[in-house]
Structures are given as C-alpha cells and as structure tokens.
Amino acid sequence: ILLLGFFLSLDTLSNTSLYYFNYIYCNIWEGECQPHQDDATQQVPTRDFWAGFPQDYTELLYRWYCNLGQCCESGDCRVTNNITGLAHDLQNKLHGQHLAQPVVLKAIQGFINHPESNKPLTLSFHGWSGTGKNFVARMVADNLYRDGVKSECVRLFIAPFHFHHARMVDTYKGQLRDAIRDTVLRCSQTLFIFDEAEKLHPGLIDAIKPYMAHYDNVDGVNYRKAIFLFLSNIGGAAINDVALDFWHSGQNREDIGMEDLEHRLRTETMEAQGGFSKSELMSGHLIDFFVPFLPLEYRHIKLCAKDAFAARGLETDEATLDEVAKAMLYIPKEERLFSAQGCKSIPQRINFFLP
Ligand SMILES: *[C@@H]1O[C@H](CO)[C@@H](O)[C@H](O)[C@H]1NC(C)=O
C-alpha cells in the first residue's frame, strides 16, 4: 500500500497514469480490449509489471481513480459523443429549422461513427442572428463533450473579439495555429467554433485552411478528428428571400428544400464582402455542409418563450406566450412575418412577464 501511495503521489496527475489505469481496466475487467489511447509513442506497461501488485489493491486503486471521474469506457472521459442526446435536443429545443436539424445530426453522426474519415468535418451555419446558430453549436458541444464549450477539447473563437485588430493579423495567425495544434494534441477529438465568421480576416482563413484539407497530417499532427463550425450571417438575406417567396406563394415553410437554398446561398456567399466568403474555403470545397437557418415566425417565438419559462420551472398559458411574442419586432414592414431578433433575447424578455 505504501508503495502504491508513493506511486500515486508521483504520478496521479500525469497522462501516463491515466494510461496505466486504462490498461489495468482493459486487462482486468474487459479481457483483452485495446486500451484507447491515440498517442502511440507512450510506453505500454507489460502484464508482468502489474503482476507484482495483488489484484485487490489494483481494484481498489482503480475504484478510487474512477471515483475521481477519470475513467470511462471510451478511454477519454472528456468526450461523451452522445448522439441520442444531440438528436433529442435538435428535435425538441430547436424551433423552425427543419433543414438544419437533420443536416447537423447526420453530419455529426456520420463523422463520429466513421473514425477512419480522411478529413476533418467542416460545417458552415448561415442565417440571421437569433435563428439558432449559436444555440446549435452549443448543443453540439454539450452532447459531444462532458464539459460542453468549457471543455479543453473545444475552442470558441469570436472573430471581432479574439481577432479585433486587422494590423495584428500576423500575430493572430500564429496564435490561432498554436491554439488549434495544442488542442488537437491534447484531445482525441476536438471542436473549433468560429462565431461571426464573416468578420474573419482572409489571412486567418488561409492560416487554418491546411488543417481542414485532406492532408493526413500537418507538421506531424493528425487533424482528421476535428470538427470545424463556422457561424455567419452570410447568405441570411438570400435565405429570408426564399422563405418570404414561399410564404407569398402560399407554400409551406416546411416544403423549403436544400435545393431551393443551396444555389442562392453559394451565390450570395461568393458575392459577400469579407475574408470568409472570399476565401478558398468556400470555393475549394473544404466546407462539407452548408447549413441554412430560416428566419423565425411568430409561432416559433412562442415556442422559444415556452421553453424559456419551462427552463425556470414555470408553467405558462397561451395568453402570456402571445404577449411575449407580440412584444417582438417583425419584418419586413408589410408582411411582419419574421422576428427581427429571432429567439435571441427571449430568456431576458420573459422577466417582464413574470408574476
Ligand atoms: C445522452 O443524452 C440524453 C438526453 O439528453 C440523456 O438522457 C442520456 O443520459 C445521455 N447519455 C449519456 C451516456 O450521457
């Protein structure tokens, strides 16, 4: 026991110990399973090494280690990859996005179920603010990682915040490359979110482009297990036009198909100002999926309001939901069809309607 204690105090915080414990777990509780560990350079302790420890102690040790929340079946407790949870959230918490919902789910599910994929997954979310782009990015982080966006495997970059000064673009380039590289080295599966991507400097896009291409590795690091999400309002006007056209011609919003949008989205994206749209990212087929977010209508605002009340444990009636929804601004001027802010400020707004 003393010897174990010594061993632990020396080694508990290092990755190596995680590796050893996964190894014990695999040998003792799971028969011959391969310990999950992507860094092949680490030494595998032989069975003989552990033969010296009585099994009772190793079990004790393992239990203790698991109590600290450091072990799990996947081998990396930071990665949860809960596809059921993601499907549930997209189905129940996201309103009015019949296009985004299946595209995001299938893309992420396909990527996770096919670890042999030869390139990172890149998704580009398009639409007005408040339509759910950030919301979905958060859902993805929450269901794929134990600690959500706070996970050390997830990096969120907000273009105007993190890369504010155009003259510092060279510094930013280095910082961004380092951040991506560090995260990929630290985690078996990573998620990079670029919010307000329309404001990304072209130089920054060029800097990260190699990571998204079909290369096996860049400077010896493998980036294929990374997910890149770009959130922008590029194409928002085109999406809104299509939705409005459908409404004018008496067609269902739910009948809007990807084919109705994709072409206009690509065209508007190419014509838009700024680095993101001008970059080869768009033209060079590095984006796997364009994900359109439709503008939200009155009925969707009511659903968001209902969720916001429910999140505070409050039941509401239709009349209150109508009041909340009526207090929003709707555009265009004549039709008053789409909420100008989407569902963005609903959680704050319901304060005014609380008893
Ligand atoms: C996945 O998410 C669902 C729904 O949020 C939840 O009920 C379930 O416990 C989660 N599964 C795991 C393994 O975390």
H/E/C letters for each residue in 208-219? HHHHHCCCCCEC
pLDDT score of 76: 81
pLDDT at residue 91 greater than cutoff 80: yes
Under DSSP, the state recorded for 44 is P
Q: Report whether pLDDT(239) > 80.
A: yes
Ligand 1 centre distance from Cα of residue 145 (Å): 12
Half-sphere exposure of 28 (CA within 13 A, CB side): 19
- Measured by CA distance, the residue closest to atom 13 of ligand 1 is 82
What is the structure's pLDDT at 6? 42
CA of 266 to the centre of ligand 1 (A): 36
Give the global pTM: 0.79
The closest residue, in CA terms, to atom 1 on ligand 1 is 85
The answer on pLDDT for 50 being more than 60 is: no
Which residue shows structure tokens 């690509």?
266
Fill in the DSSP letter of residue 317: -
Comparing 65 with 351, the larger pLDDT belongs to 351
> What secondary structure letter does DSSP report for 190?
E
The β-bridge relationship of strands 330-331 and 338-339 is: antiparallel
Show the ligand 1 pocket: residues with CB < 6 angstroms. Answer: 80, 82, 84-85, 88
> Which of the two residues, 157 and 273, has the higher pLDDT score?
157
What spacing in Å lies between the alpha carbon of 279 and ligand 1's midpoint?
A: 38
Q: How far is CA 316 from CA 193, 229, 268, 305, 344, in A?
A: 35, 35, 41, 9, 19
CA 84 to ligand 1 center in whole angstroms: 7
- Those residues whose C-beta lies under 8 Å from the C-beta of residue 289, and which sit 6 or more positions away, are 103, 107, 122, 123, 124
For residues 312-320, average pLDDT: 92
* Helix, strand or coil, per DSSP, at residue 159: helix
Q: How far apart are CA 348 and CA 327, in angstroms?
A: 13
Cα angle 45, 116, 204; round to 5: 100
Question: Which run of H or E residues covers position 157?
Answer: strand 154-158
Distance 290 CA to ligand 1 centre (A): 27
Given this model, what pLDDT does residue 241 score? 92
* pLDDT exceeds cutoff 60 at 29: no
Architecture of domain 83-292: 3-Layer(aba) Sandwich (3.40)
Q: Percent of the chain at pLDDT above 90?
A: 45
Distance 104 CA to ligand 1 centre (A): 18
* Atom 4, ligand 1: residue with shortest CA distance: 85
Q: Which residue has the higher pLDDT, 297 or 61?
A: 297
**Which protein residue's CA is at the shortest distance from atom 9 of ligand 1?**
85
Q: From ligand 1's centre to the CA of 88, what distance in Å?
A: 9
Q: pLDDT tens for residues 198-220?
A: 888 888 888 888 887 766 666 67
Per-residue pLDDT at 25 exceeds 60: no
- The domain segmentation of the chain, as residue ranges, is 2-67, 83-292, 298-353
Do the Cβ atoms of 301 and 339 come closer than 8 Å?
yes
Q: Whose CA is nearest to atom 7 of ligand 1?
A: 85
- Rounded to whole angstroms, the Cα distance separating 221 from 181 reads 8
Assign 226 to helix, strand or coil: strand
- The whole-angstrom separation of Cα 331 and Cα 339 is 6
Q: Which of 74, 78, 82, 146 to mutate to test the pocket of ligand 1 (most atoms within 8 A of CB)?
A: 82
Q: Which of 84-88, 89-93, 186-190 has the lowest mean pLDDT?
A: 186-190
